[in-house]
Amino acid sequence: MQTKDLAICLRTVNFSETSQVVTLLTREHGKIAAMAKGSRRAKSSFDGPIEIFSFGQVMFTLKETGGQLAILTDFQQPPRFRGLHANLRAMNAALFATELTEAFLEDHDPHSALFDKFIKFLETLQEAKDESVMLAWLILYQLRLLEEIGLEPLLDTCVNCSAPFSSGWKKVYFSSHSNGLLCPSCETAFVEKHAISAPHLAILQNPAKLPKTDRKKLHEIEQLLIYHFTELLGKPPRMAKYFT
Ligand SMILES: [Zn+2]
């Protein structure tokens, strides 16, 4: 059965002289891998070869049995995000978000709200002139992704003893494995942890402040998230090196 959806391309791999295998994030059907037969031919039903961040209406056929590639039959791709390719910093932030999205979402598991957030994120990156704005939006997207996959960090109490966070805590630590804060009494018993200063934590507790936060603070907050994603994935994300 032919299925129609809205999609953004997360990855392309050339399959033959004329075809591609693409990973798409679709709005209603989640992440899918699909064969685009003939997409590299000069004339095809795909508006030219499919590129990363190609965005538009797609038609595809899902196989009855799991684990097989869908067949992509149509992809109308107006040049919505071509501007990203002209700005290296914006592109790196977009690629980092893409890598994490691909790593953490399961195939065929729809996250429509996250899809909308991802498109909005790319639009913001494309228009942003300032590196701080790009970093703030990357952090906002990363937090949203964690929330969507059920891993929203616990940032208002100690995960070990439930003591409410207090600005009186001399040192604050975040444990990735416990997905939350460790209070000064509990942190000594934990090996796996990452220090975060109280002012930076206050920003994370109220992410609406992120777009107005200076670059140095954003950088430190991003280091905490990179630490967290590295622990979750069991290895550093490939794009993390551009943000450390
Ligand atoms: Zn505690």
CATH number of the domain enclosing 57: 2.40.50.140
Render 148-181 in DSSP notation, one character per residue.
HTT---EEEEETTT-PBP-TT-SSEEEETTTTEE
Q: What distance in angstroms lies between residue 98's CA and the mean position of ligand 1's atoms?
A: 35
Per the structure, the complete domain to which residue 222 belongs is given by: 82-152+193-243
**How high is the mean pLDDT of the chain?**
94
Residues 71, 86, single domain; the answer is no
Residues 207, 122, single domain; the answer is yes
Q: What distance in angstroms lies between residue 177's CA and the mean position of ligand 1's atoms?
A: 15
Q: What distance in angstroms lies between residue 215's CA and the mean position of ligand 1's atoms?
A: 31
Last residue of a domain, one of 58, 75, 92: 75
- Does residue 219 sit within a domain? yes
Residues 111, 199, single domain; the answer is yes
Q: What distance in angstroms lies between residue 217's CA and the mean position of ligand 1's atoms?
A: 25
Would you state the structure tokens that stand for residue 68, as one six-digit string?
């097989």
Confidence label for 98 from pLDDT (cuts 50, 70 and 90): very high
Residues 6, 102, single domain; the answer is no
Residues 120, 198, single domain; the answer is yes
pLDDT at 64 exceeding the cut of 80: no
Q: What distance in angstroms lies between residue 184's CA and the mean position of ligand 1's atoms?
A: 7
Report helix angle 131-148 to 112-127, nearest 10. 170
Count of residues in the chain: 244
Residues 8, 39, single domain; the answer is yes
- Please answer whether residues 137 and 125 qualify as being in contact, where contact means their C-beta atoms are separated by less than 8 angstroms: yes
Q: What distance in angstroms lies between residue 64's CA and the mean position of ligand 1's atoms?
A: 50
Q: What distance in angstroms lies between residue 171's CA and the mean position of ligand 1's atoms?
A: 12
pLDDT tens column, 199-212: 899 999 999 999 99
Q: What distance in angstroms lies between residue 191's CA and the mean position of ligand 1's atoms?
A: 14
Residues 25, 132, single domain; the answer is no
Residues 51, 129, single domain; the answer is no
- Does residue 234 sit within a domain? yes
Residues 135, 198, single domain; the answer is yes
Phi-psi region of 67 (alpha: psi -120 to 50; beta: other; left: phi over 0): left
pLDDT at 46 exceeding the cut of 80: yes
pTM as predicted: 0.94
Residues 107, 64, single domain; the answer is no
| Number of compact structural domains in the chain | 2
Last residue of a domain, one of 40, 75, 110: 75
pLDDT at 226 exceeding the cut of 80: yes
Q: What distance in angstroms lies between residue 158's CA and the mean position of ligand 1's atoms?
A: 5
pLDDT at 66: 62
- Does residue 86 sit within a domain? yes
- Does residue 20 sit within a domain? yes
- Does residue 179 sit within a domain? no
| Residues 209-223, mean pLDDT to the nearest whole number | 96
Residue percentage of the chain with pLDDT more than 90 = 85
- CB within 8 A of 127, min separation 6: which ones? none
CATH number of the domain enclosing 213: 1.20.1440
- Does residue 181 sit within a domain? no
- Does residue 98 sit within a domain? yes
pLDDT tens column, 149-192: 999 999 999 999 999 998 888 889 999 999 999 999 999 999 99
Q: What distance in angstroms lies between residue 225's CA and the mean position of ligand 1's atoms?
A: 21
Q: What distance in angstroms lies between residue 108's CA and the mean position of ligand 1's atoms?
A: 39
- Does residue 208 sit within a domain? yes
Q: What distance in angstroms lies between residue 45's CA and the mean position of ligand 1's atoms?
A: 59
Residues 100, 208, single domain; the answer is yes
Residues 130, 199, single domain; the answer is yes
pLDDT at 67: 65
Count of beta carbons in the 10 Å neighbourhood of residue 68: 11
Q: Looking at this protein, which amino acid is placed at residue 41? A: R
